[in-house]
Structure 1
Amino acid sequence: MKVSYEWLQNYIDLSGYDASQIGEILTRSGVEIDIVEERNQGIRGVVVGYVKKKEKHPDADKLNVCTVDVGETEDLQIVCGAKNVDAGQKVPVALVGSVLPGNFKIKKAKLRGVPSHGMICSAKELGIDSKLLSKEKQDGILVLPEEAEIGSDMIAYLGLSDEILELDLTPNRADCLSMRGVAYEVSANIGREVTLPDVDNVTEDADTVASEHVKVNIEADDCEHYSARYIKDITIQDSPQWLQNRLMAAGVRPINNIVDITNYVMLEYGQPLHAFDADQVDQGEIIVRRAHDDEQITTLDEQERVLDSSMLLITDRKQPLAIAGVMGGSSSEVSSTTKNVILESAIFSGSSVRQTSRKLGLRSESSLRFEKEIDRGIVNKAVNRAAELIRQYAGGVVATGIVEQITKETKESIITISLSKINEYIGSTITIDEVKQILAKLQFTYEEENAEFNITIPTRRGDIQLDVDVIEEIARIYGYDHIPTTLMEGKTTPGALTKQQKIRRAIVQSLSGSGLYEVINYTLVEPSSLKLLHAFDEGLHPIQLAMPMSEERSVLRTSIAPQLIQTATYNRNRNNHDLAMFEMGSVYRTEEQKLTTLPTEKPMLAVLLSGNKQTVNWAQKPMPVDFYDLKGLTEQLFDYLGITRQIQYKTANLKGFHPGRTAEICLDGNVIGYMGQLHPALQKEQDLDATYVMELELQPLYEAAHFHIDYTPLPKYPSMQRDMALLVDEALEGNKLVAAIKQSAGDLLQHVNVFDVYTGSHLPEGKKSIAIALTYLDYEKTLTDEVVSAAHQKVIAHLQKEFNAELR
């Protein structure tokens, strides 16, 4: 927000304070001033001149010899090369001895033999930003209005003696996006009264009633209040110079008197306004509704915008008129032929305007204010102010009354707070009288009883909603420099990691300690990478970004493993063949082709092994990694996390994996992951050696991990081991045998370990041999052969009956 120091003085007496001092005061109170800048870029000695006569230069086709009246006894002869210079114009004239921006000094000169006593200036030569001028004024010399007084100082005429305070506002201080709000802020800091223009008395035409020309109908929830005034018989022309000066000081380009007045009031009050050409509004009916999907409107910047049903639209019965809170439409634009206008002042939902602005890639001064939520109490004050200015500077006749519809009443909030709480939070000893003085400076009304305040918050301060917000205001105005340094008091909470954080760190420690490297890949991937594997994400739809940076980063990943495979390929292409890596991160899943609800975000862990195993002895022959290296890492991880519940590995046939070297990982009977070798075709496609991948859901691990170590005394009595080799069907999984053994062995069984599986010659067709070691232990007494043999025979009998197993 750019604040004109000269304009600010219209609302508050700043005598005794220059612009830099005001900037310092505001910064110290929490409203940061980025820079205080002078509008005058070094101009001296430039006056308003009148071109009485223009003649062609005798020796130069592109030069003119002008006779210029600058209010002195004698006219000046000035040679000028501008195409648009002409007799009868009032123009800025730099006299001999004057200085222009860049310390450019004007001297007497001869141009092709003709003396020139000064220079007729363009806007650019006066240091005025061309962006703030119409196209007509950007080229050639600056032509001034007829009312400019000959010989008057151009610095004063263009308001260039002003200084600009540029505010760097935080999002909560929307009140300071207006001159009125800044005036209140300065008032609170220097203790002087704010004087605002009278907006309650508008000169209206009793014979013209607004409700006979305008109707308002709100059909959408995102509009709380819509007011309209009808003004007829206006004259479109340039705004008075003082108004143009103030707009340019704020960085706004003057257009015409109607548009300029709406911008002026927006800057003054913070309430965006819009003027419609009333004759282009069908039957004068204003409708506030949601746009239809794919509905189109051409905005004031001549761009065609395609809308959707989330956007708020201003229409009549035939056509869209404006995108609510963002930009008007060209169909109802105020033009040079406009005679009657409908003036809009409204409250639109900040979130709705923000969403619309973002979707369309269209931001304006209006949307900037609505996004931050404007003052809900000045809708009619602002439209009255603009109507009166249009009456004064456009000759308009203001119809009697305001046509409005209100769907939600605006109420001032009341916050209760005690003096003790104020001092407790600030760490100060502010007295009741000091609090009263500060509230008076802020212009907050209040009632006080027994050191407790009931404070009424004005609608202009929508950022103040809680008692702590009031405390902050009191601290600001009291002065942060006056608050003593004190030690904090009260209960403290020691910092600690959550269980999930502890588990994630434990996973990193376990895998890093086993020689694996942690990698971090992008969450956004290219769609083709999701097709490498289908383990967990079969049947899911990738979530497409609406505006991706590139095709390579256009969808959210549904699995981590494909990116580890691509990372492995990347390393192999750079002669790094032996790989052991892991990654933890989130994946995003949905079964919807078009999102209507938020996708499911799941934390995942993936591990990849490829190439040769790591060896301690450098002379040892390298050995390629295999399935059991990956399984051993997984079991070690579970043991490290203290997961003592039932873990099972079941044969699986997953797309992208070797059909005989892949397993699902189950916890308490539920599949939580998979592990296995990549399919040879995929390995060849990715130019990889034998590669093994594991991927796990982390949420079940968060729930099952148990870091608490339970102490168990060492057994006093020896254990006994029995081995058995069983001939079973080749399709039978070893974990089913282990489960059956645990079920039938009784309490003496301590451990079961499958230590050999044999298939091949000397076995019947369709059979395999599984060797299993069973460990028995009694913590109360020494086991005897008879007891162990009885338990062991019971196990064998159960296996023979359950699986038709035979002892070898």
Structure 2
Amino acid sequence: MFVSTKWLQDYVDLSGVTPEELANLITKAGIEVEGVNNLSEGIKNVVVGYVMEREQHPQADKLNKCTVDVGEEQPLQIICGAPNVDKGQKVIVAKIGAVLPGNFKIKKAKLRGEVSEGMICSLQEIGIEGKVVAKEFSNGIFVLPNDAEVGTDALEYLHLNDSVLELGLTPNRADCLNMIGVAYEVAAVLDREVKLPKVGAEVTNNADFVNVTVEAKEDAPFYAAKLVKGVKIGPSPIWMQSRLMSAGIRPINNVVDITNYILIEYGQPLHAFDYNKLNSQSIIVRNAKADEKITTLDGEERTLQPHNLVIATDKEAVAIAGVMGGQNSEVDENTTDVLIESAVFRPLSVRQTSKELGLRSESSARFEKGIDSSRTLAAGERAAELVVELAGGTLAPGTTVENNLQVEEQNVTVTVQKINSVLGTDIDAETVKDIFRRLRLEAAQEGESFTVTVPLRRGDITIEEDLVEEVGRLYGYDHIPATLPTGVASRGQLTSYQAKRRRIRRYLSHAGLFEAVTYSLTSGSKVKRFALEAGEASPVRLALPMSEERSELRFSLVPHLLDAVSYNVARKEESVHLFEAGSVFLTSENNELPHEEEYLAGALTGLWLQHAWQGEKKAVDFYVVKGILDGLFNELALSNKVSYVAAKKEDLHPGRTASILIDGNEIGFIGQVHPSTQKEWNIKETYVFQLSLAKLLNTEVEEILYEAIPRFPSMNRDMALVVDSTVVAGEMVETIRSAGGKLLKDVTIFDLYEGDKMEAGKKSIAFSLTYFDPERTLTDEEVTKVHEKVLKSVEETHNAQLRG
């Protein structure tokens, strides 16, 4: 919101306060002022001039030689390249010695052999943004009205001796999206009176110029129409144009400018129809018909749907309610009769229509946030009076009103004790009462309790905490004392879950993986892929998604990690090692609201190791990823609880996939992405894993006990066993551990052979077994006895035979 201090002065006395001081006070009161722009800062020696003569430059087709009267004894000769300069115009002249924005100094010069003694300026050249300059002057000089006095200060005539505050409003402070709302705020800060515009109001439902019918009463609870006949369309006065430009709005013509002026002044969007173009005395506020079309004022044809609200005659739609008017009823230079609309439209309806059509306007921005309906009628009346004053014409008797508003006063109660307990202050009741007075909040006091009747302009005040905030910001945040917490001191620390989660992220980072952060929203085609617990549950779909690619809450982290792998591989980064710890959103089969659960996932492709000097390379494979996870489980002291079981899962390679179990309960999976799925993502051989962090980190871990360095030696025995190719080595390890009993300290696999010298359908697996007793030295006979028991057990269980 851009606030002209000269305009603001109409509503609240700013004497004795500089713009910079005012900006500081407003910021301290809770509304950030992002900048103060002094419109005339650095500009000097710019006056009103009169073009006495204009002729073609003798040496240049695109230059004009102008004789300009600037109120001095001798007129100036100025060479000007503007296409619209002409004899008889009042213009802005920067004389020799003038300074323009950017410290641009005007000097006497020769242009193609002709002396130029100054510069005829456009508005852009004196610091006005091009986007707010009227279209007829956007590519040329600005032509001043005839009442401009030659030789006088052009900046003063253009009302540019002004400062503009840029307010950074939060969405809840829609009350300050207008000058009157800002005036209330400034008056509270300065403790001064608010001066509101005075308007007459002749209201009757029997006006004969138009009949208003509101069919969509919920979306349009209030609609008023006022008619002004015999207007003359032309430019609005300079003071109004200057105020609109300072607010960031381009002047168009006197009638349209008045509606925009009221928009900024009252915060009430208005619309002006060319009454004769309506060709009807009926105004109908209704929902659009399916695929109904309307060409809006920006020249675009829009296709509407039945939930869009329109203003229509009995023949056609003439405006999209609260968003933009239609070209078929536009006010132009031929307009003589103007119908002024002042209405209240439901915020949700306007917001939905504006978003669907991709059409935002100053009006829709205000309707979306909610307007003060108590000003709606007065705003329409003031606009009609200004049209009569600035565009001529006469008011038609009465105002047609269709009123279905049901406004209930909202009362909010707060106590002094509540205020002080939240703010940490010691404010007394009298101070609270005075703050409510300054804010123009009607407050009934009972002892130290205040019941505030909230005015319609302050829709952001709904609960007692809102009143606490109002008191705090007017009392002054810089006056609130800094205090230390009282009571029992506690030491801040991570929970056990948080600490373990951090350890996991650090371990994986140190292991060589990079952490990724992906979207929690995915597409319908990916939502159930690689899920741990999808089942028959239906995913949660957003009502208004950004796109189909971001339309549903994810069940798995893996699809977006594969997207990231694909993205990197496509850019020649062929070795990608990623992990993510993030939330998934699981639903039950009866479609209840989803519960959020944290998962851990990874995706690895390309080379895991590459030593160029030694010529050593190691590609990512199943055992690389399993080794990373084994290290993770060891880090969490879970190695003795974890097991891997061969599994078949959708989108994963059937022979290179395993479920991960803790104490026999599945917590995730590890495996290679199925070749067809790899092709779908346009990636090469890629391995993934996914675990439920909740199940992983909530597993009880036995207390870690430290043991002394062994005093007695261990004994090693190796054995190579021939088994069927279908036998799983992990199951053999479990059999060996069970048979080895307490003396078997460790068992590892160190070789696998399936070559030509092996019988078809057979394979050889070599194991290394370590026997150890911490209390004594084992004898060879004891170890042999246990070792034979192990051999017998694997022979009976897996039909294993010692390899000869």
Q: 2:323 aligns with which of 321, 326, 336?
A: 326
* 2:282 and 2:313 in contact (8 A); partners too: yes
Counterparts of 2:314 and 2:636 in 1: how far apart (Å)?
A: 67
Partner of 1:217: 215
* 1:78 and 1:120 in contact (8 A); partners too: no
Q: 1:426 aligns with which of 420, 423, 426?
A: 423
How far 1:319 sits from its partner (Å)? Answer: 4.4
* 2:288 and 2:304 in contact (8 A); partners too: no
Counterparts of 1:557 and 1:109 in 2: how far apart (Å)?
A: 70
The 1:656–1:159 alpha-carbon spacing in structure 2 relative to 1, beyond 3 Å, is same
1:159-558 matched pairs, under 5 angstroms: 159-199=159-199, 201-203=200-202, 208-209=207-208, 212-218=210-216, 223=219, 225-238=221-234, 239-281=236-278, 284-289=282-287, 292=290, 296-305=293-302, 313-315=310-312, 319-350=316-347, 353-354=350-351, 357=354, 360-394=357-391, 395-406=393-404, 409-489=406-486, 494-498=491-495, 500-511=497-508, 516-521=511-516, 523=518, 546=547, 558=559
Counterparts of 2:151 and 2:175 in 1: how far apart (Å)?
A: 41
How far 1:451 sits from its partner (Å)? Answer: 1.2
The 1:48–1:203 alpha-carbon spacing in structure 2 relative to 1, beyond 3 Å, is farther
The 1:382–1:631 alpha-carbon spacing in structure 2 relative to 1, beyond 3 Å, is same
Partner of 1:552: none
Moved more, 534-543 or 662-671: 534-543
1:511-660 matched pairs, under 5 angstroms: 511=508, 516-521=511-516, 523=518, 546=547, 558=559, 560=561, 563-564=564-565, 581-586=577-582, 603-606=599-602, 608=604, 627-643=622-638, 647-652=643-648, 657=653, 660=655
* 2:667 and 2:691 in contact (8 A); partners too: no
Counterparts of 1:119 and 1:638 in 2: how far apart (Å)?
A: 79
Letter aligned with residue 170 of structure 1:
T
Letter aligned with residue 429 of structure 2:
I
How far 1:494 sits from its partner (Å)? Answer: 4.8
Letter aligned with residue 201 of structure 2:
V
Counterparts of 2:792 and 2:342 in 1: how far apart (Å)?
A: 89
* 2:608 and 2:619 in contact (8 A); partners too: yes
Partner of 2:36: 35
Counterparts of 1:124 and 1:633 in 2: how far apart (Å)?
A: 64
- Structure 1 unaligned runs (5+)? 550-554, 574-578, 592-596, 779-784
Partner of 1:3: 3
How far 1:433 sits from its partner (Å)? Answer: 1.5
* 1:325 and 1:370 in contact (8 A); partners too: yes
Counterparts of 1:766 and 1:413 in 2: how far apart (Å)?
A: 84
How far 1:677 sits from its partner (Å)? Answer: 9.2
Partner of 1:781: none
Counterparts of 1:387 and 1:656 in 2: how far apart (Å)?
A: 72
Letter aligned with residue 300 of structure 2:
Q
Counterparts of 1:441 and 1:147 in 2: how far apart (Å)?
A: 42
The 1:749–1:114 alpha-carbon spacing in structure 2 relative to 1, beyond 3 Å, is closer
How far 1:240 sits from its partner (Å)? Answer: 3.1
Describe the superposition over 1:740-767 as per-residue Cα deviations: whole angstroms up to 9, x where unpaired: 999x99x999999796888789998756
Counterparts of 2:717 and 2:115 in 1: how far apart (Å)?
A: 122
Counterparts of 2:677 and 2:297 in 1: how far apart (Å)?
A: 59
1:67-86 matched pairs, under 5 angstroms: none
Describe the superposition over 1:350-400 as per-residue Cα deviations: whole angstroms up to 9, x where unpaired: 566556555555443223333444334333332232233234333242452
How far 1:193 sits from its partner (Å)? Answer: 0.9
* 2:645 and 2:660 in contact (8 A); partners too: yes
How far 1:491 sits from its partner (Å)? Answer: 6.9
* 1:523 and 1:557 in contact (8 A); partners too: no
* 1:179 and 1:267 in contact (8 A); partners too: yes
Partner of 1:135: 135
Moved more, 500-509 or 170-179: 500-509
Counterparts of 2:113 and 2:729 in 1: how far apart (Å)?
A: 110
* 2:37 and 2:164 in contact (8 A); partners too: yes
SS at match of 2:419: helix
Counterparts of 1:749 and 1:322 in 2: how far apart (Å)?
A: 89
SS at match of 1:469: helix
How far 1:233 sits from its partner (Å)? Answer: 1.6
Letter aligned with residue 168 of structure 2:
D
The 1:154–1:585 alpha-carbon spacing in structure 2 relative to 1, beyond 3 Å, is same
Describe the superposition over 1:722-748 as per-residue Cα deviations: whole angstroms up to 9, x where unpaired: 999998765454667788999x99x99
Q: 1:697 aligns with which of 691, 702, 713?
A: 691
* 2:657 and 2:672 in contact (8 A); partners too: yes
Aligned-residue identity in percent: 36
SS at match of 2:207: strand
Aligned Cα root-mean-square deviation (Å):
6.1
SS at match of 1:415: strand
Question: How many residues of Structure 1 are paired with residues of Structure 2 in the alignment?
Answer: 764
Q: What TM-score do you get using the length of structure 1 for normalisation?
A: 0.74
SS at match of 1:649: strand
Describe the superposition over 1:629-658 as per-residue Cα deviations: whole angstroms up to 9, x where unpaired: 54344334334334465634115487674x
The 1:415–1:584 alpha-carbon spacing in structure 2 relative to 1, beyond 3 Å, is same
SS at match of 1:465: coil
The 1:693–1:720 alpha-carbon spacing in structure 2 relative to 1, beyond 3 Å, is same
